[in-house]
Amino acid sequence: MRKHFKGHLQSVGDILLAAMKKRGLAGKLEENSLFKLWPKAVGPKIAQQTCPDGWRAGTLFVKTTSSVWVQQLHFMKEDIRKKINELAGKTTVREIHFTVGYNPARKGKGRRAVPPKLMLKERDKRIIAECTETLKDRELAEIVKRVMQAEITRRRLREEPQGR
């Protein structure tokens, strides 16, 4: 027996975006897409000396390897901003703030390999369950669950005191 659907269909992407907005994670999607565009916007030479570090309220924060790079990129800031917005297809970045603090030799090193579940609190698990329980596609629900676990763990690791 076939049922006829009389409403309008929504794409999975729209449903996911709405769920992530509801949980306050939509900005993180935007940030991640900007981070992926960075190497293409600045080219390989600059990308080796820089690393996007955050995005808030239209400002992209970028760490560089030295103060010389901060100064050089400051002069190129407007061209970089235009290029990244062009690649994004919309005006996402209104300002770029460069600081010293990127060490390419340490990228990925020195981080602890902690399984995501070890860093989750009961409240986190409950929020993740609420967010994924309405997804009918279980495979998609598992993917969203892993992404949320990884993001919460990443934030917790960043919040830990540096002395540990």
Q: 96: domain CATH number?
A: 3.30.300.180
Position 157 in a domain: no
- Structure confidence at residue 84 (pLDDT): 95
Could you tell me the strand order of the sheet in which 59-64 lies?
Answer: 50-56, 59-64, 95-100
Query: Residue 110: pLDDT above 50?
Result: no
Tell me if 8 is assigned to some domain.
Answer: no
More confident residue, 63 or 160: 63
Reduced to 3 states, what is the DSSP secondary structure of residue 150?
helix
Q: What length is written for the chain?
A: 164
pLDDT in tens, 54-95: 888 899 999 999 999 999 999 999 999 999 999 999 998 999
Whether 97 is in a domain gets the answer yes
Number of domains the chain contains: 1
Residue 130 in 3-state DSSP? helix
CB atoms near residue 74 (< 10 Å): 12
User: Are the CB atoms for 102 and 61 separated by under 8 Å?
Assistant: no
Q: Look at residue 95 and give its three-state secondary structure.
A: strand
3-state per-residue secondary structure call for 30-82: HHHHHHHHHHHHHCHHHHHHEEEEEEECCEEEEEECCHHHHHHHHHHHHHHHH
The sign one gets for the Cα dihedral 96, 99, 100, 102 is negative
Residue 50 lies in a domain: yes
CA distance 58 to 72: 22
Identify whether 114 is part of a domain: no
More confident residue, 18 or 144: 144
Whole domain around residue 79: which residue ranges?
31-104
Task: List Cβ neighbours of 47 (8 Å cut-off, separation of 6 or more).
Answer: 38, 39
In a domain, 143, yes or no: no
Q: 108 or 98: whose pLDDT is higher?
A: 98
- 139 belongs to a structural domain: no
Residue 96 lies in a domain: yes
Name the pLDDT band for 5 (thresholds 50, 70, 90). Answer: low
